[in-house]
Structure formats: structure tokens, C-alpha cells
Amino acid sequence: MSEPAPGHAENEDHAFHAGPIVAVLDGVTVLPGTDTGCVHGPAWYVRRLGSRLTEVAEESPTAPLADSLAEAIRRVRGDHGDRCDLDNPATPAATVCLVRDTGQTLDYLILSDSTLVTERAGQVQIFTDTRFHKVVAELRRDAVTEDYAIGSSEQAARMRQTVTRKHEFTNQPDGYWVAAADPDAAHQAVIGSLPLTGKTRVRRAALLTDGASCAVDDYAFMDWAELLELVTEQGPEELIRRVRLAEDADRDGYAQPRFKRHDDATVALCTFDK
Ligand SMILES: [Zn+2]
């Protein structure tokens, strides 16, 4: 289930299920007027990357996920064509949360601020890439204050400043990594493997973009176990409905400082009944 932010026609999130692979991708928003060096946008990028990942995974079903992602990024470079300057720091980019069911294990790969929530042996665990949060938290401390309402010109100026600074940390060893034009970013992802057999096997897994995980880590109106229960019992749409209510209750962003009133939100729920 993937829903664009209210008022936005184009969804910069993307989710897909292809054979043993499930993924959610969140295209990095480009501010109006930004020179990205590219004729394509984030919505194009996430869909291209999804198609290329599907293709690569079909060709090499047992390859390490990082290798598959690297190859998909490499192929999307070719999809841009000659018109785009892929060295531009604002080149289209996306966060990635990817899982693969091998029958024995659930392999995962996470780049940037998407989150994987799993339940096994009654324990709920989360997996995310803390480097992005660290960089953004530092930048936001300087840039977003409760003094400026979402949509104000002061806030827009701060946002532009932050995004420019964020590019200095994008796909850099002391910064954070995201799927963009550099295939090497894939090898910086958070990766791991969880059992799908035995007592401690994964029973459920939810893949979330930050527009959905904010229910817990920003708005904090539920915990991870409650989130997993809600999407299992009432569906991802109910989680997204509640996120929209929380965003609307804080329209100007004074309680929860942020750059956008609403964000695209995506949830993929996997259940393993064996
Ligand atoms: Zn392009």
C-alpha cells in the first residue's frame, strides 16, 4: 500500500513484489527550482530502479542483495541517457528497504531512512540505517525551528539551505548513503539475514518509508509492536489514515518540526505462515 501526500498527484514512493523480493523505495524530494542536472524526477527514478531491481533479481536470484542493487543502479545510469549529468549532487535518489525470501532466510538490505520491522519468537525488532538520521538530525538542529510554520518563506529558505548542506553528506564516507547514480552506495547498505525456519523464525515483516514509520519515530502515537499489529489486523491503509490525522493535527509543524505537511507513505506487510 503506497499513498502520495494529500494534494500531490505524483507519488515519489514506490513498492513492489517480484517473486521472492519485496521492496519499498522513497524518492528524495527535489525542491522547485533545483538544478538536478537531470531531465528525470524522483518518481521516474524509483520506478526505474524498481524495474531494474526486478530484472537483476530474476537473472541472479541468489546474488547478494547489495550486488543486485549495485547492478540495478548501474543499469539505471544507462536509462538516464546522454542528456543527464549524473555527477550533479542533486541527481535523483531513493531510500531502499528490500527483503528476499530464500525459503531458509529472510535477507534484508536498507539504505537511508526506510525501516524494516520484524516479529519473531514474540519479539518485535527494527532495522534501519542510522547514518541518515544522524546527519539529518544535526542539520535539522540548525535549520528547522518551531518559529517557522510549514509553507512560510522563512521555512522555505531554511529548507533550501538544509538540502544544499545535505548534498555535502550524500554518498560520502562521513555522511550517509542512498541509491542514486553511484553503484558503490549499495555496498554501504545495512544488510543481514534472519531465519525463516525454526523457533526464532520471522513471522511478520513490515517495510516502511519514513512517511509511515513517522507514526512511531516522529509522532510517537504508537510503538513498533502496535504498528505491526495494526497493519496486520486493519491493514496498511489504517496506519496511513492515522498518520494523516497526526499530520493534520499539527498542520504548521510547531509540535513536530518538519519541512512538508504530509509525506508520501508506503507500507508493505509480509507474513510467513509455515
Ligand atoms: Zn536523468
Distance (Å) from CA 39 to ligand 1 centroid: 5
Distance (Å) from CA 259 to ligand 1 centroid: 25
Distance (Å) from CA 18 to ligand 1 centroid: 25
Per-residue CA distances from 238 to 8, 210, 224, 229 (Å): 20, 16, 15, 11
- For residues 140-152, give the mean pLDDT: 66
Q: Return the exposure string of 20-46: e unless at least 16 CB atoms fall within 10 Å of the residue's CB, then b.
A: ebbbbbbbbbbeeeeebbbebebbbbb
Number of folded domains in the chain? 1
For residue 140, give the amino acid letter. Answer: R
The proportion of the chain whose per-residue pLDDT surpasses 70, expressed as a percent, equals 95
For residue 232, give the amino acid letter. Answer: T
Q: Is the pTM of this model over 0.85?
A: yes
The predicted pLDDT at position 184 comes to 95
Q: Return the exposure string of 212-243: e unless at least 16 CB atoms fall within 10 Å of the residue's CB, then b.
A: bbbbbebbeeeebeebbebbeeeebeebbebb
The predicted pLDDT at position 51 comes to 97
3-state secondary structure the chain: CEECCCCCCCCCEEEEEECCEEEEEEECCCCCCCCCCCCCCHHHHHHHHHHHHHHHHHHCCCCCHHHHHHHHHHHHHHHHCCCCCCCCCCCCCEEEEEEEECCCEEEEEEECCCEEEEEECCEEEEEECHHHHHHHHHHHHHHCCCCCCCCCHHHHHHHHHHHHHHHHHECCCCCECCECCCHHHHHHCEEEEEECCCCCCEEEEEEECHHHHHHHHCCCCCCHHHHHHHHHHCCHHHHHHHHHHHHHHCCCCCCCCCCCCCCCEEEEEEECCC
Say which residue, 57 or 134, is predicted with more confidence. 57
List the domain range (segments joined by +) for residue 75.
2-269
CA atoms of 204 and 272, how far apart (whole Å): 6
Find out whether 95 and 179 touch, Cβ atoms under 8 Å.
Answer: yes
Rounded to 5 degrees, φ, ψ at 269 are -105, 130
Distance (Å) from CA 12 to ligand 1 centroid: 15
Residue found by looking up cell 533550501 in the block: 160
Q: In this structure, is residue 137 part of a structural domain? A: yes
Find out whether 267 and 211 touch, Cβ atoms under 8 Å.
Answer: no
Q: In this structure, is residue 18 part of a structural domain? A: yes
Q: In this structure, is residue 274 part of a structural domain? A: no
For position 186, which CATH number holds? 3.60.40.10
Distance (Å) from CA 42 to ligand 1 centroid: 10
Mean pLDDT of the chain: 89
pLDDT per residue as tens digits for the range 150-159: 777 777 777 7
Query: Is a pLDDT exceeding 90 seen at residue 163?
Result: no
Find out whether 127 and 190 touch, Cβ atoms under 8 Å.
Answer: yes
Distance (Å) from CA 142 to ligand 1 centroid: 31
Find out whether 215 and 244 touch, Cβ atoms under 8 Å.
Answer: no
The residues that bridge with 2 in the sheet, in sequence order, are 266
Query: Is a pLDDT exceeding 80 seen at residue 40?
Result: yes
Least-confidence region, from 51-65, 74-88, 129-143, 144-158: 144-158
Distance (Å) from CA 81 to ligand 1 centroid: 7
- For residues 156-179, give the mean pLDDT: 83
The predicted pLDDT at position 20 comes to 94
Q: In this structure, is residue 10 part of a structural domain? A: yes
The predicted pLDDT at position 274 comes to 58
Distance (Å) from CA 224 to ligand 1 centroid: 37
Q: In this structure, is residue 14 part of a structural domain? A: yes
Q: In this structure, is residue 46 part of a structural domain? A: yes
Q: In this structure, is residue 72 part of a structural domain? A: yes
Q: In this structure, is residue 216 part of a structural domain? A: yes
Distance (Å) from CA 86 to ligand 1 centroid: 7
Distance (Å) from CA 102 to ligand 1 centroid: 34
